[in-house]
Each structure stands twice: as C-alpha cells, then as structure tokens.
Structure 1
Amino acid sequence: MKKLTLVVLASIVLSSCATHHGLTKNFNQHTTEVVLSHNNFKIVKIVKGEAEAKYVFGIGGLSKNGLIAQAKSDMLASANMEGNSRTIINETVEIKKSGLPFISKYKVIVSAQIIEFTN
C-alpha cells in the first residue's frame, strides 16, 4: 500500500498538463464596420505575434489580458500597415497552458489576415 501511494504521488507530481484554447472573439470594441461583400480587396499576408509568461505557485508574468495585448502589439509591429489602405481581419487568439502542478507556462499567439483595398 505504501508503494502504491508513492507511485501515485510521484506520477501526479511528475506529470505534465497542457491545455490549448483558441478564441475567435473580437477583443476590440471599435464602432467602424467594414463590409467585405465586393471583390475590392486582396489578402496581402498573414501576421502573428507571440507572448509567454511563467508562473511559480501562481506568481509571476503578466495577466492573460496583458499577454494578449503584448502578443497583439508584436503582431501589429510586423503588419506594416502605415501609408496603405490596409486593415486586419479574422483575428484569432490562441492560449496554450502547460506545466507541472506548481509551475505553469502560458503562451498566447495572436494571428490575423491583412487585406488591402483595391478600390
């Protein structure tokens, strides 16, 4: 019985847990609408940004919203949208959590498509 308890305890402590969530929610509360019903645009590229944080006993890193903001900032820095008639569509936020029972790591990936209007 003592060996069984030690084996169960060791497996719990040494096991790694990982979860992944993909959110396709608009975190922006802008009032501008773009209707893409006509063929007056082209997809220029797909951009993404990443941010991650490690937590020990739940302490450390940024909050989930802070990680999303950092990843989005990284994405926008690589978008090269200034001086063009471009916008971001289909923004997706993915959150991956992995780690041991007392140490966890969050990784946030924000991706989107950049379109350019032709008319």
Structure 2
Amino acid sequence: MKTKSIITGLLISGSLALTSCASSHYGTLQSSANLSSNNFNYSANSITGTSTATYIFGIGGMKRQSLVDEAKQDMLAKNPLQKGQALANTTVNIKNSMMFGIVQEVMCTITADVVTFN
C-alpha cells in the first residue's frame, strides 16, 4: 500500500512538473533596405544577435523594446557595418519559456543579411 502511494505521488508530481512548463515562439519580417534595383551584392548572410531577460513571478528583466534593441546592438557589435552597407531581410524572433509558472525567460534573436550597395 505504501509503495502504491509513493508511485501515485511521483506520477502526480511528475505530471504537474511537465505540464506547468510552456514555450511559445513568434517573429516578424521587416524590410530595412530597398532592394528593388540590381545595385547591390550580399556581403554576409544570416548574421545574428541575441538578448535574454528572466522574470521571477513577473518581476525583473527588461522591457521588450529593450530586448530587441539589445539584440540588434549585439548583432552590430559582432558584425559592424562598413560604408555603403545596410541590413536586409531582417527578422525578429521572440521565444517565451515558462517554467513551473514561476520563472519566465524571454529570448530575442535578430537575424539579417548584409548588403553592399554599388
């Protein structure tokens, strides 16, 4: 009887632990350079920058606007633009992860191509 109670308790605890975690993803595609004429070359493809904020009981981290800006600054710090270059095909992806309804982690990733105009 005692073993049955322990197994039942472990199953219930395990089920609660697994069902209280969630993750969602969403993103947008933004135009950042006019590529309508054939006066450019791709210099780099899929450069990225990331930023993360962690919230405990909804407190902490940064506002979402700051997350996007920080991810962009990270991308440009790793891949500085030269004269005549611009970002193209920019995407912003946000991933929200919730663990046990207590801790939320928000990760922002920005990906872009670099074009050089002739």
- May I ask how many residue pairs the two structures share in their alignment? 108
Cα 1:35–1:53 shift into 2, 3 Å:
closer
Unaligned runs of 5+ in 2: 1-7
Which is further off, 99-108 or 73-82?
A: 73-82
TM-align CA RMSD: 2.4
Which is further off, 88-97 or 14-23?
A: 14-23
Q: How many angstroms apart in 1 are the aligned matches of 2:102 and 2:17?
A: 9
Q: Which residue of 13, 16, 27 corresponds with 1:12?
A: 16
Q: Match of 1:31?
A: none
The structure with more helix, counted as a fraction of residues = 2
Which amino acid in structure 2 is aligned with residue 99 of structure 1?
A: M
Query: After the TM superposition, which residues 94-105 of structure 1 pair with which residues of structure 2 at under 5 Å, given as runs?
Result: 94-100=93-99, 101-105=101-105
- Give TM-score scaled by structure 1 length: 0.77
Q: How many angstroms apart in 1 are the aligned matches of 2:53 and 2:28?
A: 18
In the TM superposition, what is the alpha-carbon distance from 1:14 to its structure 2 partner? 4.3
Say whether the 8 Å CA contact 1:79–1:114 is kept in structure 2.
Answer: no
Query: Identity rate of aligned residues, in percent?
Result: 31
Q: Match of 2:41?
A: 42
Say whether the 8 Å CA contact 2:87–2:115 is kept in structure 1.
Answer: yes
Larger Rg: 2
In the TM superposition, what is the alpha-carbon distance from 1:78 to its structure 2 partner? 2.2
Q: How many angstroms apart in 1 are the aligned matches of 2:35 and 2:113?
A: 13
In the TM superposition, what is the alpha-carbon distance from 1:37 to its structure 2 partner? 2.5
Query: Aligned with 2:95: secondary structure?
Result: strand
